[in-house]
Amino acid sequence: MRSKIAGRVWKFGTNVDTDQIIPAEYLVTGDPAELAAHAFEKARPEFAGEVREGDIVVAEENFGCGSSREHAPRALIGAGISCVVAKSFARIFYRNSINIGLPLVEAAIVADDGDNLEIDFKSGIVKNTTKGVEASFPPTPAFLQKLIDAGGLVEYTKTQIKNMGM
Amino acid sequence: MTMTIAEKILAKKAGKSSVEPGDMVEAEIDYVMVNDITGLPAFEVFEKFDCQPLREKTILIPDHYVPNKDVASAEQARAMQMFAKKYDMPNYFPVGTCGVCHQVMIEEGFVAPGRLIIGADSHTCSYGALGAFGTGVGSTEAASAMALGKLWFKVPESQKYTVKGSLEKYVMGKDIILHIIGEIGVDGALYKSMEFYGSAIESLPLADRISISNMAIEAGAKAGIIPPDEKVFNYLKDRVRGDYAPLYADSDADYSEVYEYDASEISATVAKPSLPENTAPASELSHITVDQAYLGSCTNGRIEDLRVAAEILKGRKIASDTRMIVVPATKRVFEQALSEGLIKIFLDANAYVSGPTCGACLGGYMGVLAKGERCISSTNRNFLGRMGHKESEVYLANPAVVAASAITGRITDPSEIE
Ligand code: SF4
């Protein structure tokens, strides 16, 4: 993962549940690209058509609550989302995202749709360059960074297995 | 640095002298369990690793849709069987040898104080009743743990629940946890580890403590831990696999929240549809008729639960408009119930008795509710449509309330029919 990213904001509110991210009727595939075609289909019908590679999702508290479906972070990866910034995340969504390689940032940043965001993972600063405000966030724990850099838990596990000579 | 039980276990398993809430650790797993539903995706991920599974640490238990209810579930169960064969897995418990996964894990001696156990099933938190850190994970994580024997964790904050005093007759561990969830809500312990203390908890049999830890997830908790005592050590004699070392919280450990309850003020409690936090005393719901009474599951399918229900059902008949289904959680529970004459009591009362399975608990098969039907159930979830049609209703209660309600055909506090 790059240490700095910049992207355009898609803004959401509180308690965005996994049903909103990817409705249950599309859980017949695990393919990120196919899932992405239906991401936020009910909550933000324009999302799938207008989202661009590198865009950033910004939300309030408890992002990703509800079921444990790994399909939710997969759909966001498939849509090209580079990072989700939220005040807080639901536990299983957090785990699933990290495990499949979707960067998450726990920060309170003021933002609206279309604003430009810069995230510096090294310094732990997220800047809204459109509004001229910024917020800090705790650095990603070294272990999770390793996991994300490796491309998620499956890739990480493969590397570990190689290193252990199993 | 002082630590809670959860912190002690995670620190030890991560090879650190101490951890604090929010820390990320990579910890050694004692065991990883998958069931027939979560197993299949885990096996698919595992095959990408091109390695051997940690055979002794991996436990395979088909329970949700077995005996196979249809072709799709048959394929799932078969995938587990094939995986077990391919890698010559020693801890595979096929139909006829086992039962509901969490009770099997406990009975077979995998669960012991101080251990860190993960399961691709949310009620893995049940193991906290024996002083273990048990928590639910996803299938990908389970697969990775099967290969590496370790997994990453965020150290949760801990909450302390103290329950003092003694419970009235027919009030059980189930009522304590329903009462607590009724007060703190279904997100009252989100991300956190619940720890349970006090004279009421100490006096509870292990079976009741398991019901409490089992439902920690219904308050959003990551674990629900009870400090292990003589009852646990005695239970583990001749049963536990390997050594174990109990871990206890420091007396001045930090808890994010502290709650106190008086057991004598807790009555036989029912959680109304469609959330476990919707609680009310059973005595206030006596106008609600029930079409089905279900006794079983990882929450209340143990021999102690069956004894309580049999005592009430003995010499009585199930109400004519109500059906009762009794499912001992495991083969061992079934055998014990048979030898104690409990099965005969259930059959004489006109209850339907089945071999161990999760079936009805998750609305999978055998015991599915029709539109508008109501079930009084000893299980742990009463979500919309959990046991059948989306307009059917589930009321959660302890085994005594389930048995008493089966007799009267309406929700009944057992003290009413004594
Ligand atoms: S008995 Fe019910 S709650 Fe327990 S593991 Fe089976 S389906 Fe899940």
Q: Which helix (H) or strand (E) holds A100?
A: helix A91-100
ipTM rounded to 2 decimals: 0.85
Instruction: Say whether pLDDT at A146 is over 90.
Output: no
pLDDT at residue A152, as a whole number: 86
Ligand 1 surroundings by CB, under 6 angstroms: B 63-64, 100-102, 121, 123, 297-298, 358, 361-362, 379-380
CA atoms within 13 A on the CB side of B396: 31
By C-alpha distance, the chain A residue nearest B45 is A154
For ligand 1, the distance from its centroid to the CA atom of residue B124, given in whole angstroms, is 10
pLDDT at residue A53, as a whole number: 97
Q: Is the CB of A15 inside 8 Å of chain B's CB atoms?
A: no
Q: Is the CB of A70 inside 8 Å of chain B's CB atoms?
A: yes
- Please tell me which of the candidates B26, B152, B191 has its beta carbon nearest to residue A91: B191
User: B190 to chain A: which residues are within 8 Å by CB?
Assistant: 91
Q: How many domains does chain A have?
A: 1
For ligand 1, the distance from its centroid to the CA atom of residue B318, given in whole angstroms, is 25
Contact B14, B27 (CB under 8 A): yes
pLDDT at residue B220, as a whole number: 86
Taking each helix axis from N to C end, the angle separating B36-47 and B71-86, rounded to the nearest 10 degrees, works out to 50
**Quick one: pLDDT band at residue A74, thresholds 50, 70, 90?**
confident
Q: Is the CB of A161 inside 8 Å of chain B's CB atoms?
A: yes
Chain B: give the shortest CA distance to residue A42, in Å: 21
**Quick one: pLDDT band at residue A166, thresholds 50, 70, 90?**
low
Enter the tokens of residue A33. Answer: 């690209």
- Taking alpha carbons only, the member of B102, B60, B108 closest to residue B235 is B108
Q: Is the CB of B48 inside 8 Å of chain A's CB atoms?
A: yes
Mean confidence (pLDDT) of chain A: 88
Task: Domain B268-417: give its CATH superfamily.
Answer: Aconitase, domain 3 (3.30.499.10)
Determine, for residues B148 and A161 on separate chains, whether the beta-carbon distance falls below 8 Å.
Answer: yes
Domain carrying residue A117: 4-163
The tens digit of pLDDT for each residue in A35-53 reads: 899 999 888 999 999 999 9
User: B193 to chain A: which residues are within 8 Å by CB?
Assistant: none
pLDDT at residue A122, as a whole number: 87
The CATH number of B7-156+222-243 is 3.30.499.10
Cβ of B214: how many Cβ atoms within 10 Å?
A: 29
Cβ of B280: how many Cβ atoms within 10 Å?
A: 16
- Per-residue pLDDT, averaged over A63-80, amounts to 82
The tens digit of pLDDT for each residue in B182-233 reads: 999 988 998 899 999 999 999 999 999 999 999 999 998 999 999 999 999 9
3-state secondary structure chain B: CCCCHHHHHHHHHCCCCCCCCCCEEEEECCEEEEEHHHHHHHHHHHHCCCCCCCCCCEEEECCCCCCCCCHHHHHHHHHHHHHHHHCCCCCECCCCCCECHHHHHHHCCCCCCCCEEEECCHHHHHHHHHCCEEEECCHHHHHHHHHHCEEEEECCCEEEEEEECCCCCCCCHHHHHHHHHHHHCCCCCCCCEEEEECHHHHHCCHHHHHHHHHHHHHHCCCEEECCCCHHHHHHHCCCCCCCCCCCCCCCCCCCCEEEEEEHHHCCCEEECCCCCCCEEEHHHHCCCECCEEEEEHHHHCCHHHHHHHHHHHCCCCCCCCCEEEEECCEHHHHHHHHHCCHHHHHHHCCCEECCCCCHHHHCCCCCCECCCCEEEECCCCCCCCCCECCCCEEEECCHHHHHHHHHHCECCCHHHHC
Cβ of B314: how many Cβ atoms within 10 Å?
A: 15
Determine, for residues B25 and A154 on separate chains, whether the beta-carbon distance falls below 8 Å.
Answer: no
pLDDT at residue B269, as a whole number: 98
How far CA B111 is from CA of A25, A82, B163, B220, B318, in Å, comes to 37, 41, 24, 22, 37
- Give the integer Cα–Cα distance in Å for B104 and B301: 11
Please report, for the domain that includes residue A92, its CATH number.
3.20.19.10
pLDDT at residue A78, as a whole number: 96
- Taking alpha carbons only, the member of B262, B135, B280 closest to residue B194 is B135
- Give the integer Cα–Cα distance in Å for A160 and B8: 26
Q: Write the DSSP symbol of residue A28.
A: T
Which amino acid, one-letter code, is at B46?
F
The gap from C-alpha B53 to its chain's centroid, in whole angstroms, comes to 26
Instruction: Say whether pLDDT at A28 is over 60.
Output: no
For ligand 1, the distance from its centroid to the CA atom of residue B264, given in whole angstroms, is 29
For Cα atoms A72, A74, A76, give the angle at the middle one, nearest 5 degrees: 75
pLDDT at residue B262, as a whole number: 98
Contact B255, B4 (CB under 8 A): yes
Q: Where are the domains of chain B?
A: 7-156+222-243, 268-417
By C-alpha distance, the chain B residue nearest A163 is B148
User: B51 to chain A: which residues are within 8 Å by CB?
Assistant: 161, 166
Which among B35, B380, B394 is the best mutation to test ligand 1's pocket, defined by most ligand atoms within 8 Å of the CB?
B380
Contact B33, B134 (CB under 8 A): no
- Give the integer Cα–Cα distance in Å for B283 and B286: 6
- Give the integer Cα–Cα distance in Å for B15 and A164: 18
- Taking alpha carbons only, the member of B163, B247, B225 closest to residue B200 is B163
The tens digit of pLDDT for each residue in A90-110 reads: 877 888 888 888 999 999 999
Query: What pTM does this model have?
Result: 0.88
> Which residue ranges in chain B fall short of pLDDT 70?
none
For ligand 1, the distance from its centroid to the CA atom of residue B34, given in whole angstroms, is 13
